[in-house]
Chains A and B, each alone.
Chain A
Amino acid sequence: MKAQKIKRVDLIFDSTSTKEVLVKAIKMKPEEIIQEVLDSGLRGRGGAGFPTGLKWKYAASEKGAVKYIVCNADEGEPGTFKDRQILEDAPRKVYAGMAIAGRAIGAKQGYIYLRGEYRYLLFKLMEELVFFHSRLKELGYDFNIQFRMGSGAYICGEESALFESIEGRRGEPRNKPPFPTVSGLFGKPTVINNVETLVYTVEILDHGAKHFKEMGTSDSRGSKVFSISGDTPKPGIYELELGMTVERFVEEFGDGDTKAVQVGGASGFCVPRKKFRETIIGFEGVPTGGSMILFNSSRSMYNLLHNYLDFFDEESCGQCAPCRVGCQQLLQGVVSVKAGEKDSRYLDELVKLAKTMKIASKCGLGQSVGNAFRTIVEHFREEIIY
C-alpha cells in the first residue's frame, strides 16, 4: 500500500475577508451561527478538544444580560508557538472570531488574555484592534475587545485560573462545576476559546461547515496548525489535515533517526518508534494543542523527562495536594532512581502516583502531568534507570 501523503491545508492564514464574514454573520441568527459551528464538528484547538459549537450553545442558553467572550492567547505549552504566528499574521480573524462568538451567545464584551512573553506583539495588535473596532462600528456590530496581559505563569492558560488572573487574583483554577458557560469571568456566562479555534470559526462561516467537515476523521474533523520543533530538518508552523499517523508525520518531518515524538508538549504523550504506525494524531489517538517535538537517538529520554518534571514542579500552581506534592515526588523520584538511591521498582510506585494525580488533581495541569511520565517510563525505562 502506498503511503498516503500528509495534506497541507491553507485556511488559517488564507486571505479570507473578515469584513465579508462579519457581514454574513450579521445576517445570520445566533442559533444559525451555532448550528454551523456544530455541523462542522470543530473541537477546541487548545488541546482539550471540547466541541466548540456545544460550548457556544450552552453559553447561549444561559439567561443574563452580561456574558463574555475570552480568547485564550496564553500559549504556554512547551513546544507550541502557533498562536503567536496567528496573532502576528491574522489578528483580524481572531477579533472576528470573537465578535462572531459574541453574536452567537449574546456577549458584547471580549477579552484577549495575552501571554506575558508576547507583550512585544501588543503594539501592533492594538493598532489592528483600533481598525477592527472602527469596522465593527461601520457595520453596526456591537462588540468590544480588550487586552489583558499574563505574567508568565503556565497555569493561567487553564481557563478558570485565567479568569482569576483577569479578575486580579492569584491565578489558580476554580472548582468545577460550575463551568465557564454557566459562571465564568466575573461570575458571568463565558465562552473561552483558543486563538486558533476562534479563527477556525471564521473560516467555517466563510467556507461552510461542509468544507471543514470533509477533512480529517470522524473524531477529529478539519485541519489543525502544528508547531513542529526538535530534531527535524524543517521546524516551523504547518497547517495539516487531522487524522495522520505519527509514522506519516515522521516520514514528512523526521530526520531519519527519530526515536520518539512528544505529542502535545509537556502535558502530552511521548510516542516511541514502535508505536508510530498505530498512533493517530487526533482525539481518537494522541491529542495535541499543536506541539510536536521530535527526538532522535542522540537524545536522553531521562533528560527529557527531567526537563518536563522540572517544568511542572515549578509551574504547578501549588494549590492542590496531588499536583503540588506529586510533581515534586515524581521529579525527585526519578533523580533518586537514576542516582541509584532508590530501587528501579520505585518507578512502579511513581507510575501509580501519576495515575492518582490524573484522577484526583483539581485541574487539567495536574491531571496531565502523568501523561508524559507514564509514556516515557513505560517505553524508555532503561534510560531512566541506567
Chain B
Amino acid sequence: MINLTINGLELEVDKGTTILEAAKKLNFRIPTLCHHQDLCVAGNCRVCVVEQVGNRTLVAACATPVTEGMEINTNSLSVRTSRKHIIELLLSEHNADCTKCYKNGECELQSLANEYSVGDHIFLDLIVDHKSMIDMSSASIIKDDSKCIRCLRCVRTCEELQGVHALAVANKGSEQKISSFFDKPWREVICTNCGQCINRCPTGALVERNNIEDVWNAILDPEKHVVVQTAPAVRVSLGEALGFEAGHTVTGKMVSALKRIGFDSVLDTDFTADLTIIEEGTELLTRLKDVLVNKRDDVALPLTTSCSPGWIKFIEHIYPDFLKNVSTCKSPQQMFGALAKTYFAQKRKIDPKNIVSVSIMPCTAKKFEANRPEMRSSGFKDVDFVLTTRELARMVRQAGIDFMRLEDVNYDSIMGESSGASVIFGATGGVMEAALRTAYEIVTGREVPFKNLNIIPVRGMKGVKEASIKIDGCTDEWKFLEGVELKCAVAHGLVNAREVMEKVKKGDAGYHFIEIMACPGGCLGGGGQPIPTNSKIRAKRARAIYDEDMGKPIRKSHENPEIIQVYKDFLGTPNSHKSHELLHTHYKERNRY
C-alpha cells in the first residue's frame, strides 16, 4: 500500500494506482481529455496536470503512478493557470463554432471550456480554412480535422481495440494530424466503418453521417409508408441517451416513441434475427454434410457469421482468401429490408415503391452496408436509411416526446414477433448461442443440454471464447453428425477477430462455426450507441439483454410463429431458391490499405 496526500487529505491506495484514480477515491475529479478507460494511457492532452510537491514540472495525473509520501495539489495556482492555458490552446486549434456542431452539448472540450469559464479567446485562431478539412466521402463516418484536438483516442481505438490501423498519426509539429494511408479519402481506405472511434472522440471531429432529415422527410411525406425496424441492442441502450441509467431496457417506450414520431409500421429486426438463425443454421448443417458426407472440397469450413458489416468489410480487406468461409446470409437488417419491400408489401397490399424502409441500429457500418450495390434484391434499395441509436434519441428529442414517461407499446405485425434467441444477437456470443439452440434441436430433436437454454461458455466479455458441444442421439437424417464434437469460437472487437482468423489461417483451429462481431461486447458496444462507453456500461447493457431473453415466452428462433408463417406463405423452405434470391449475398475482395 502507498500513502500520499492529495490537497492536504491523506489516503492509502494500492501500488500502481494513478494519481487520477487516487484523487477519485477522495471525490476529487481531475479533468481529462485523452484518457479513456478502454484505451492505453497516452498522457498527451495534459489537461490533467497536477502539482507534485518537490517536482520541477507538473505531472500528468492519468499517467503517473502514486509513490510513497507523495504530496499532490490538484488546484494550485500553477495547475489552474496551466489547465486554463491548455484548454485555450486546444480551442485555438479547434473549430469552435459550437452552435453549428453536431456534437454541441455533447462535447467534452466544450464542457471543459465551460467549466473553466474560457470565453475571452486570448490566443490567435490557428485554423484558417475550416471547410477544406472535412472528409465527407464515407457512407458512415464524417471526419472533420478542424475539430480534432489530437488526443489520439481514435488512433488508439483503431489500433488497440480493432487492429485496423485506418487512423494513424501523420506529420509532426504544427502539421501533425490524424490521417489515413497516404491521406486518401475515407471511402477508399481500410476503415471498416465500425464507428468505435466516434464512440471515443471527445469532440465533433468524428461523427456519424446522419440521416435524420432524410427520415423526417419520408415520414412527413403522405405518399410514403415508412417502415422502421429496431435492432436487438438498441432497446437496451437508447434509454441512456434519454435520461435512463445504463442497463435499463426501454423496448416498449421505444416502440411508443417511434409511433409518436410517425413511423407507419414499427417492426423488429429481431424477427429477421430469428430468420438469420434458420438460414445460417441450415447453411452450417448443409456445409457440414457436404464436407463430412459428400467429401466436397469446394465447401469451406469453418463457417463464420455475417451479421456484422464491420467484420465483413474487415475480412474483405484483410482475409479475402477466407471470404468463402463467410455465411452467405445477409445481416438481419438487410434480410428485413428485402422482406419489407416484398413479403410485407404483398401481405399489407402496399406498392413497394411507396415503402421507405428505415432501420435503427447500434451501428455505423450498417449505413455503409445499406448502400452496398448488392443490397437491392427486392428490386429497390432494401434499406433506405439507417439511423444510429444516437440519431433516434435526437429524433425523439426533436419530436418533443417525454420519453421517460411513455407507456409501453407492442410492435406491429407482421415481422414484429421475436424470440429470446434473437434478442441476444445484441451481445457477443448471442448469435452462436441462438444458432446452437436451434441447430442442436434440429439434429437431435432435443434441447441444447444447458440449464434454461443458457449457453454460458459463449457469454461474457472475454475477447476470444471457445466452446464445444458433443452431438449425440442424432435423428436419422443427421446420423452423420453422431459423436461429432462441434467446435465453436466467438470473437468481438476486430483485434480479437484477427487472432481467431490467424488461427484459422494456420489451420490448427479445428473450428466448425465462428461468430465474429466487429465491436467490443458485440452490437451492444456498437459504434452507433450512446456515448460514453466503457466496460461497465457494456456489462450493464449485456445483463439487460440476457434478462430480456429470459423474460421472453419463446426462446428459440425456430419456434417464432411469424418465422414459421413466412416460410409457409412466402419463402418455402430454408435456403430455398427464393431465400437465396432475397436473403443471401456475396462478398468482394478489397484493397489492403
Report whether A360 and B44 are in contact in the complex, using a CB–CB cutoff of 8 Å.
Answer: no
> Least Cβ distance of B128 to chain A in Å?
11
Report whether A314 and B46 are in contact in the complex, using a CB–CB cutoff of 8 Å.
Answer: no
Contact residues in B for A175 (Cβ distance below 8 Å): 41, 43, 60, 63-64
Whether A326 is near chain B, meaning CB under 8 Å from some CB there, is yes
Contact residues in A for B64 (Cβ distance below 8 Å): 175, 177
Report whether B46 and A349 are in contact in the complex, using a CB–CB cutoff of 8 Å.
Answer: no
Report whether B176 and A320 are in contact in the complex, using a CB–CB cutoff of 8 Å.
Answer: no
- Within the assembled complex, what's the spacing in Å between the Cα atoms of A324 and B172? 9
Whether A294 is near chain B, meaning CB under 8 Å from some CB there, is no
Please name the residue on chain A nearest to B151 by beta carbon.
Answer: A321
Whether A316 is near chain B, meaning CB under 8 Å from some CB there, is yes
Whether B26 is near chain A, meaning CB under 8 Å from some CB there, is no
> Least Cβ distance of B64 to chain A in Å?
7
Q: Which residues of A, 308-349, contact B by the 8 Å Cβ criterion?
A: 312-322, 324-329, 332-333, 336, 349
Candidate in B44, B49, B58 with the most chain A CB atoms within 10 angstroms: B44
- Within the assembled complex, what's the spacing in Å between the Cα atoms of A352 and B174? 20
Could you say which of B41, B58, B172 contacts A360, with CB atoms under 8 Å apart? Answer: B58
- Within the assembled complex, what's the spacing in Å between the Cα atoms of A362 and B43? 8
Report whether B86 and A316 are in contact in the complex, using a CB–CB cutoff of 8 Å.
Answer: no
> Least Cβ distance of A256 to chain B in Å?
38
Q: Which residues of B, 317-347, contact A by the 8 Å Cβ criterion?
A: none
Contact residues in A for B81 (Cβ distance below 8 Å): 352, 356
Contact residues in B for A329 (Cβ distance below 8 Å): 89, 92, 123-124, 126
Report whether A318 and B171 are in contact in the complex, using a CB–CB cutoff of 8 Å.
Answer: yes
- Within the assembled complex, what's the spacing in Å between the Cα atoms of A319 and B63? 14
Q: Which residues of B, 88-114, contact A by the 8 Å Cβ criterion?
A: 89-90, 92-93
Report whether A358 and B57 are in contact in the complex, using a CB–CB cutoff of 8 Å.
Answer: yes
Whether A38 is near chain B, meaning CB under 8 Å from some CB there, is no
1/0 per position for A252-283, CB-CB distance to B under 8 A? 00000000000000000000000000000000
1/0 per position for A235-251, CB-CB distance to B under 8 A? 00000000000000000
Contact residues in A for B173 (Cβ distance below 8 Å): 312-318, 324, 327
Report whether A362 and B92 are in contact in the complex, using a CB–CB cutoff of 8 Å.
Answer: no
> Least Cβ distance of B231 to chain A in Å?
38
Contact residues in A for B47 (Cβ distance below 8 Å): 321
Whether A181 is near chain B, meaning CB under 8 Å from some CB there, is no
Contact residues in B for A322 (Cβ distance below 8 Å): 46, 82, 85-86, 89
Candidate in B45, B57, B92 with the most chain A CB atoms within 10 angstroms: B57
Report whether B93 and A325 are in contact in the complex, using a CB–CB cutoff of 8 Å.
Answer: yes
> Least Cβ distance of B325 to chain A in Å?
32
Report whether B150 and A324 are in contact in the complex, using a CB–CB cutoff of 8 Å.
Answer: yes
Please name the residue on chain B nearest to A326 by beta carbon.
Answer: B89
- Within the assembled complex, what's the spacing in Å between the Cα atoms of A177 and B59? 10
Please name the residue on chain B nearest to A350 by beta carbon.
Answer: B123
Given contacts A325-B126, A359-B58, A360-B85, are A318 and B78 in contact (CB under 8 A)?
Answer: no
Could you say which of A177, A315, A336, A358 contacts B172, with CB atoms under 8 Å apart? Answer: A315
Report whether A313 and B86 are in contact in the complex, using a CB–CB cutoff of 8 Å.
Answer: no
Q: Which residues of A, 66-115, contact B by the 8 Å Cβ criterion?
A: none
Contact residues in B for A314 (Cβ distance below 8 Å): 172-175
- Within the assembled complex, what's the spacing in Å between the Cα atoms of A175 and B65? 11
Please name the residue on chain B nearest to A333 by beta carbon.
Answer: B124
Contact residues in B for A317 (Cβ distance below 8 Å): 172-173, 176
1/0 per position for B47-86, CB-CB distance to A under 8 A? 1010000001110100111000000000000100110011
Report whether B176 and A359 are in contact in the complex, using a CB–CB cutoff of 8 Å.
Answer: no
Candidate in A177, A318, A328, A360 with the most chain B CB atoms within 10 angstroms: A360
Contact residues in B for A52 (Cβ distance below 8 Å): none
- Within the assembled complex, what's the spacing in Å between the Cα atoms of A359 and B174? 20
Whether B293 is near chain A, meaning CB under 8 Å from some CB there, is no
Whether A353 is near chain B, meaning CB under 8 Å from some CB there, is yes
- Bin the interface of chain B by size: 35 or more
Whether A155 is near chain B, meaning CB under 8 Å from some CB there, is yes
Could you say which of A153, A328, A353 contacts B93, with CB atoms under 8 Å apart? Answer: A328
Report whether A356 and B176 are in contact in the complex, using a CB–CB cutoff of 8 Å.
Answer: no
A-B contact count (CB 8 A): 113
Whether A367 is near chain B, meaning CB under 8 Å from some CB there, is yes
- Within the assembled complex, what's the spacing in Å between the Cα atoms of A362 and B86? 12
Whether A170 is near chain B, meaning CB under 8 Å from some CB there, is yes
Contact residues in A for B172 (Cβ distance below 8 Å): 153, 155, 314-318
Report whether B82 and A318 are in contact in the complex, using a CB–CB cutoff of 8 Å.
Answer: no
Please name the residue on chain B nearest to A174 by beta carbon.
Answer: B43
Whether B149 is near chain A, meaning CB under 8 Å from some CB there, is yes
Please name the residue on chain A nearest to B85 by beta carbon.
Answer: A356
Report whether B174 and A328 are in contact in the complex, using a CB–CB cutoff of 8 Å.
Answer: yes
Whether B169 is near chain A, meaning CB under 8 Å from some CB there, is yes
- Within the assembled complex, what's the spacing in Å between the Cα atoms of A318 and B78? 23
> Least Cβ distance of A333 to chain B in Å?
7
Whether B1 is near chain A, meaning CB under 8 Å from some CB there, is no
Given contacts A153-B172, A324-B150, A353-B85, are A319 and B124 in contact (CB under 8 A)?
Answer: no
- Within the assembled complex, what's the spacing in Å between the Cα atoms of A317 and B173? 5
Whether A361 is near chain B, meaning CB under 8 Å from some CB there, is yes
- Within the assembled complex, what's the spacing in Å between the Cα atoms of A353 and B92? 13
Given contacts A322-B86, A324-B174, A327-B173, are A362 and B122 in contact (CB under 8 A)?
Answer: no
Report whether B89 and A359 are in contact in the complex, using a CB–CB cutoff of 8 Å.
Answer: no
> Least Cβ distance of B87 to chain A in Å?
9
Candidate in B47, B56, B57, B89 with the most chain A CB atoms within 10 angstroms: B89
- Within the assembled complex, what's the spacing in Å between the Cα atoms of A258 and B90? 40
Contact residues in B for A325 (Cβ distance below 8 Å): 89-90, 92-93, 126
Candidate in B43, B58, B78, B174 with the most chain A CB atoms within 10 angstroms: B174
Candidate in B49, B123, B150 with the most chain A CB atoms within 10 angstroms: B123
> Least Cβ distance of B282 to chain A in Å?
48
Candidate in B46, B47, B126, B171 with the most chain A CB atoms within 10 angstroms: B46
Report whether B57 and A320 are in contact in the complex, using a CB–CB cutoff of 8 Å.
Answer: no
> Least Cβ distance of B486 to chain A in Å?
41
Given contacts A175-B43, A362-B44, are A321 and B174 in contact (CB under 8 A)?
Answer: no
- Within the assembled complex, what's the spacing in Å between the Cα atoms of A226 and B86? 36
Contact residues in B for A333 (Cβ distance below 8 Å): 123-124
> Least Cβ distance of A162 to chain B in Å?
15
1/0 per position for B263-274, CB-CB distance to A under 8 A? 000000000000
1/0 per position for B130-154, CB-CB distance to A under 8 A? 0000000000000000000110100
Report whether B65 and A321 are in contact in the complex, using a CB–CB cutoff of 8 Å.
Answer: no
Q: Which residues of B, 10-48, contact A by the 8 Å Cβ criterion?
A: 41, 43-47
Q: Which residues of B, 149-182, contact A by the 8 Å Cβ criterion?
A: 149-150, 152, 169, 171-176
Could you say which of A328, A349, A360 contacts B86, with CB atoms under 8 Å apart? Answer: A360
Report whether A321 and B60 are in contact in the complex, using a CB–CB cutoff of 8 Å.
Answer: no
Contact residues in B for A349 (Cβ distance below 8 Å): 122-123
Report whether A316 and B82 are in contact in the complex, using a CB–CB cutoff of 8 Å.
Answer: no
Contact residues in A for B78 (Cβ distance below 8 Å): 359
Report whether B86 and A356 are in contact in the complex, using a CB–CB cutoff of 8 Å.
Answer: yes
Could you say which of A153, A170, A320, A336 contacts B46, with CB atoms under 8 Å apart? Answer: A320
Q: Could you show 10 A-B contacts with beta carbons less than 8 Å apart?
A: A170-B169, A313-B173, A319-B44, A321-B47, A322-B85, A325-B90, A329-B123, A332-B126, A333-B123, A353-B85
Q: Which residues of chain B have a CB within 8 Å of any CB of chain A?
A: 41, 43-47, 49, 56-58, 60, 63-65, 78, 81-82, 85-86, 89-90, 92-93, 122-124, 126, 149-150, 152, 169, 171-176
**Further contacts, 10 of them, CB under 8 A, given A318-B174, A321-B150:** A155-B172, A170-B169, A316-B174, A318-B172, A318-B173, A321-B90, A324-B174, A329-B123, A332-B124, A353-B85
* Shortest beta-carbon contacts, A-B, top 6: A318-B176, A325-B89, A175-B63, A356-B85, A360-B82, A175-B43
